[in-house]
């Protein structure tokens, strides 16, 4: 099946869609370093580096050698900074919130059989739902049946508290659009508008039939110990795969890469001594707390300065694994998680390599769609296309 990936980033969505049987013909990414990582891992794909608003539909067709209707899927996640719950201002006037129109412009020209849009949960309430309404209106006018849901990555084997809003559109479709059912009994509290209505929940009786959730330790227990701020990755594994998840991650990969971490300052190492597995800033003596947290209520900032618990899910991997942002301290070593550990928590295979500085690599990993979530959605779209 042929696909196009817009706003492709480092290629997490393409990685998952390839596992579901899609072959990315073309990807567009405007950040050069992200595009370099994409090229490194998808050498057979044409990569257009630049603003999607400057990509002409005619040029796309010419580059791909395809006519309207020949592509199976156009997928992508328009930049989400303006949609994010964490963004200080959420407004339709933010130009980043209009890039989905350029996504739809490409869809209008290519006329793929299926459309996949992924974004942060905050998109469902942006402009009191007007962005969602506009996406439906535009796609339906092009002949697509559309549906959206909020999916939890933990339900699909990703060891992480990560939610994404997913829109699926199928052209000339006469059936109900479905979404992938949960396969893992992972639990999380969704603290955003629309969660109850749009999230797929797991009934208690059904939960007994699911696999146990993938844990932090499932993701990283086979990796060698490294020092705080290590800038050179070990190249060898010290242990064989310890579980099915590690077998998946290491499939066909003989050389370890990216296993290095940002340096933690001494003041944070002093704080870390007091933080147990699953603990947070609340375990740090008051006189050692940062000034801002000395004024915080015990109910606030629940994940800050957290040490990961080996049996739990990781908090959402962000563009910086900074202890002041969340729970990113290693379960047993006095450091933050490495780029490779963050990539594993996102479900990237070990064969996937990241280019650029350590800071840029953390950013690429944090911005990505978890490949296993992309695969789950891709598998479902492939089934839907079988009903055309």
- Which residues are annotated as catalytic? 80
Q: Which of 318, 374, 323 is nearest to 345 (CA)?
A: 318
What count of other Cβ atoms lies within 10 Å of the Cβ of residue 77? 28
d(CA 173, CA 40): 36
Q: Which of 384, 371, 385 is nearest to 157 (CA)?
A: 371
Kind of pairing between the strands at 114-119 and 163-171: antiparallel
Pairs from 352-359 (Cβ < 8 Å, separation ≥ 24) = 352/11, 352/15, 352/41, 353/37, 353/40, 353/41, 353/257, 353/258, 354/10, 354/37, 354/258, 355/33, 355/36, 355/37, 355/40, 356/33, 356/36, 356/37, 358/231, 358/260, 358/261, 358/262, 359/262, 359/320
* Helix H or strand E encompassing 165: strand 163-171
Cα 311-312-318 angle, rounded to 5 deg: 135
d(CA 70, CA 60): 13
d(CA 336, CA 194): 33
d(CA 80, CA 65): 31
Q: Phi then psi for 170, rounded to 5 degrees?
A: -120, 130
Q: Phi then psi for 183, rounded to 5 degrees?
A: -110, -15
């Amino acid at each position: 099946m042929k696909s196009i990936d817009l706003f492709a980033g480092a290629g997490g969505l393409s990685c998952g869609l390839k596992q579901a049987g899609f072959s990315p013909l073309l990807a567009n990414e405007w950040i050069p370093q992200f595009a370099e990582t994409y090229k490194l891992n998808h050498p057979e794909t044409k990569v257009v580096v630049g603003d999607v608003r400057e990509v002409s539909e005619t040029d796309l067709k010419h580059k791909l050698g395809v006519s309207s209707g020949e592509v199976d899927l156009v997928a992508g996640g328009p930049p989400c900074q303006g949609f994010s719950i964490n963004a200080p201002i959420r407004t339709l006037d933010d130009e980043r919130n209009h890039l989905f129109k350029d996504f739809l412009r490409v869809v209008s020209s290519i006329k793929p059989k299926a459309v996949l849009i992924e974004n942060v949960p905050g998109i469902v309430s942006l402009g009191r739902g007007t962005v969602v309404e506009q996406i439906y209106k535009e796609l339906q006018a092009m002949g697509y049946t559309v549906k959206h849901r909020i999916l939890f990555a933990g339900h699909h084997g990703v060891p992480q508290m990560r939610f994404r809003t997913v829109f699926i559109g199928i052209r000339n479709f006469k059936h109900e659009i479905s979404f992938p059912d949960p396969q893992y009994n992972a639990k999380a509290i969704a603290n955003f508008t629309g969660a109850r209505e749009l999230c797929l929940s797991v009934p208690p009786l059904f939960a007994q039939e699911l696999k146990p959730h993938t844990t932090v330790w499932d993701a990283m227990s086979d990796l060698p110990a490294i020092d705080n701020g290590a800038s050179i990755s070990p190249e060898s594994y010290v242990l064989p795969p310890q579980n099915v998840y590690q077998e998946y991650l290491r499939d066909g990969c003989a050389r370890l890469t990216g296993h290095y971490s940002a340096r933690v300052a001494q003041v944070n190492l002093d704080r870390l001594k007091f933080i147990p597995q699953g603990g947070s800033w609340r375990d740090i003596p008051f006189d050692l707390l940062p000034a801002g947290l000395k004024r915080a209520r015990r109910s606030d900032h629940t994940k800050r300065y957290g040490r990961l618990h080996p049996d739990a899910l990781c908090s959402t991997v962000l563009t910086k694994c900074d202890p002041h942002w969340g729970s990113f301290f290693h379960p047993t070593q006095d450091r933050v998680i490495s780029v490779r550990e963050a990539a594993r928590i996102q479900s990237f295979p070990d064969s996937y390599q990241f280019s650029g500085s350590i800071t840029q690599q953390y950013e690429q990993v944090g911005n990505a769609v978890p490949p296993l979530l992309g695969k789950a959605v891709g598998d479902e779209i492939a089934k839907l296309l079988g009903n055309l």
